[in-house]
Amino acid sequence: MSIPIERLPERARMAWLRLRDQLLGILGDDLVAIWAYGGTASAPEGAQFGDLDTFVVVRRPIDEATAHTIEREQAIVADEIGVEWDTWYVIGADARVATAPRHAFRDRLSESWAIDRAPWLAGRYVLLHGAEPTSIVPTPSTDEIAVALRSEVDHLERHVAAGDTDPYEATSATLNGSRIVRAVETGDVAISKREAGAWAIEHLEPRWHPTVEAARRAYEDQASAADTELLADEMAPFVAMVRERLSGETEVASGL
């Protein structure tokens, strides 16, 4: 059972429905499916929300002119309603296999493919148009999830190495890191950043609670200057803890 469209925050719902209508007009029968997902789709009533995570399945490759039209219409909706998009367009044949698909009209590869699919298949999405995820995307294997989690930690470590400790990156590192640790301990990756933060307060050592609480406030756009400073200072140690948890689990699984 997917998330009912009526549960979406009003402004997000307006934006997603506008985009759906625009894409139907642009792509017609080549539009196979649109799924809204992520933290905004599962946000509680009245909560702050971020990017509108959107996955679009199309029947065939999208030419340059059509891609330009799509991006122009997305920008218009974003400006008029006051939202930000995080959209992925994938050809249907590519969405049906485990191999990470390429974007239908940008030179990008979906590095989070295994982790994205798990929440969809668990019903953590809103069906905006067309086919359900269960009829298109394959179930990710345990090995695929493990590879994807390692890739996510690699990504966090690259930001640490580059000194990217601004509030957005530090908050993302803390909440995504919490989600990774939960996945290591439970085997479940179908959880939002907001939920991962709540889990971390219940299950991580008290040493990490102030950092996670600061990240939770930052995610809701309620961070103080002290929160921002703490997140920047603790980003590297927190990511190192996440790597240690993930590496320890890998060693246990391999019998080392």
3-state helix, strand, coil in the chain (%, to 5): 60, 10, 30
Helix (H) / strand (E) element for 177: namely: helix 167-186
Q: Supply the pTM of this predicted model.
A: 0.87
Per-residue pLDDT of the chain (256 residues; tens, 9 = 90+): 799 999 998 999 999 999 999 999 999 999 999 999 988 887 766 666 678 999 999 999 999 999 999 999 999 999 999 999 999 999 999 999 999 999 999 999 998 899 999 999 999 999 999 999 999 999 999 999 999 999 999 999 999 999 999 999 999 999 999 999 999 999 899 888 999 999 999 999 999 999 999 999 999 889 999 999 999 999 999 999 999 999 986 443 443 3
Residues shown for the chain? 256
